[in-house]
Amino acid sequence: MKILNYIILTGLLLCSGQLFAANKPNFIVVLTDDQGYADVGFNGSDDIITPNIDRIATEGTRFTNGYVTYAVCGPSRAGLLTGRYQGRFGFGRNPVIDPTDTQSGLPLSEKMISEVLKPVGYTSSIIGKWHMGTHEQFHPNNRGFDHFYGFLAGGHEYFPEQLVFNSIEEAGGNFGWYKTKLLENNKRVETSSYLTDELSTAAVKFIEREQENPFFLYLAYNAPHTPLQAPKQYLDRNTHIDNKDRRTYAAMITAVDDGVGRILAKLKELDIDDNTVVFFLSDNGGPRKNTSNNAPLRGHKGDYFEGGIHVPFAVRWPGQIPAGVDYRNPVSSLDILATFAGLTDAPIAKERPLDGVNLMPYITGKDDGLPHEVLFWRNFDQGTLATRRGYSKAIHSKKVGDHLYNLDNDLAETSNLLKYNKGQFKQHKQEMQAWQTELIDPVFRPLQGQSAKNKNKNKNKNKKNKNREK
């Protein structure tokens, strides 16, 4: 009788979807924008205090060699969301912000995390910065995301009184889209809070709403991307920093850290903490202009030295992965989708195989091998290729020339070993060039063309205004 009751109960649960949900972990990816490698406590920051972000590393696993696939935002995010090198589908530069452009966005042939998880019962939300295309066909709600709260373009103003435009078209060129009102799905909404706080609140509400269902939350903060803007409440917590810009930058990260704290507290309150995997990383290295700190790494955003692509990176899953452990083998943002797919048995199309790998066997010690024998990077417009195999890192670039480093004893890339190891560099170069044959050229026009176009529009607009005044 007990067995029969169990079978009946199991059947009812399966029909209702509850057992299905119970067997699936929740997934959260917290992605910051332009945050420096050393600008978190878990990587040694002594001026920017990040106790909540640090919990992801200290209560989980820190990746000391965590990489993204590109040194600027758009392509890096495309690699993360698809688990594939973005050069395979032509996302080789930031997309132009043009709602009429059917090319500038992540191709519909590719599947994002949200689209991969949907067939196995997940509800997905993207909160924050999209940057995967502004044409309607690229809208998050058309790409597997059940919920969207944020903005479509690549950057944004932070104070609510600055958000005055109802559409990208109304905002016009010259980065006017930084001042668009936020979207909830397809509807413009009025806001009253500092943008980072607004996004954190939306994330908490989504978790509350979906607590009974398996969910994927992609919380894509735009902080600490410029413009450097922070309210007094966060500036006052960073008065120990003398440099005004650095203080504002730190305050922006303080707001993110508070948001992460709210999310972790909500998971605990709802008793779903142990069933939720949380990744934290930045989309690329910190740029020169926002006072970020990439030490001890060389270079900044846009570079293929370590400072452009080697980012703060950690994962937390209480009771399932080791706590307070450093994982030292190279991993990539490509691995996030592959890990989620591995944990859920989500199907992956054979014609679009992933470049990432499921990290779970590696970080739990079940597999003591390397997740990646080699990692690659390409910037088409710079004419740059880079690769890391083990501790050996090579760069072949029209922009900066040829370089070879041993990252085991020279993480700061100070000693170019090219003249001592020409044979080793040649092997790297051949491998890079062979990999490049698998890629395609960028499928949309560069931002530079857009900038010139916008300048001309603004000039004509100003002329018309002057004529009206006359």
Domain 375-436, CATH number (from 3.30.750.24, 3.40.50.800, 3.30.1120.10, 3.40.50.10440)? 3.30.1120.10
Confidence of residue 173 (pLDDT cuts 50, 70, 90): confident
Q: What is the pLDDT of residue 368?
A: 95
Q: Which of 131, 147, 225, 428 is catalytic?
A: 131
Is 459's pLDDT higher than 60?
Answer: no
Give the DSSP H or E segment for 215: strand 215-220
Q: Which of 169, 97, 65 is nearest to 393 (CA)?
A: 65
Q: What is the rounded distance in angstroms from the CA atom of residue 439 to the CA atom of residue 245?
A: 39
Neighbours of 167 (CB within 10 A): 12
Average pLDDT over residues 116-140: 98
- CA angle at 207 for the pair 204 and 210, rounded to the nearest 5°: 150
Is 217's pLDDT higher than 80?
Answer: yes
Average pLDDT over residues 158-170: 96
Residue type, 232: K
Confidence of residue 13 (pLDDT cuts 50, 70, 90): very low
Locate the domains of the chain by residue range: 25-363, 375-436
* The two structure tokens encoding residue 160: 């609510």
* The two structure tokens encoding residue 25: 């972990």
Q: Would residue 15 show up in a list of annotated catalytic residues for this protein?
A: no
Is 224's pLDDT higher than 60?
Answer: yes
Mean of all residue pLDDT scores within the chain: 92
CATH topology of domain 25-363: Alkaline Phosphatase, subunit A (3.40.720)
Q: Is 129 left (phi over 0), alpha (psi -120 to 50) or beta?
A: beta
Q: Would residue 147 show up in a list of annotated catalytic residues for this protein?
A: no
Q: What is the pLDDT of residue 448?
A: 67
Burial of 159 from C-beta contacts in 10 A (0-12 / 13-18 / 19+): middle
Confidence of residue 355 (pLDDT cuts 50, 70, 90): very high
Confidence of residue 11 (pLDDT cuts 50, 70, 90): very low
Burial of 406 from C-beta contacts in 10 A (0-12 / 13-18 / 19+): middle
- 16 or 421: whose pLDDT is higher? 421
372-402: pLDDT as tens digits: 999 999 999 999 999 999 999 999 999 999 9
Q: What is the rounded distance in angstroms from the CA atom of residue 346 to the CA atom of residue 120?
A: 6
Q: Which of 407, 354, 327 is nearest to 79 (CA)?
A: 354
DSSP SS3 for 163:
coil
Confidence of residue 175 (pLDDT cuts 50, 70, 90): confident
Q: What is the pLDDT of residue 413?
A: 98
Confidence of residue 247 (pLDDT cuts 50, 70, 90): very high
Contact in structure between 308 and 43 (CB atoms under 8 Å): no
Is 79's pLDDT higher than 80?
Answer: yes
* The two structure tokens encoding residue 225: 């991307």
**The pairing of beta strand 182-184 with beta strand 392-397:** unpaired
Is 1's pLDDT higher than 80?
Answer: no
Is 228's pLDDT higher than 80?
Answer: yes
Kindly report the backbone phi and psi dihedral angles of residue 340, in degrees, each rounded to the nearest multiple of 5, phi listed first.
Answer: -60, -45
> Can 25-363 and 375-436 be said to share one CATH topology?
no
Is 5's pLDDT higher than 70?
Answer: no
Q: What is the rounded distance in angstroms from the CA atom of residue 1 to the CA atom of residue 370?
A: 50
Q: What is the pLDDT of residue 457?
A: 45
277-296: pLDDT as tens digits: 999 999 999 999 999 999 99
Average pLDDT over residues 204-225: 98
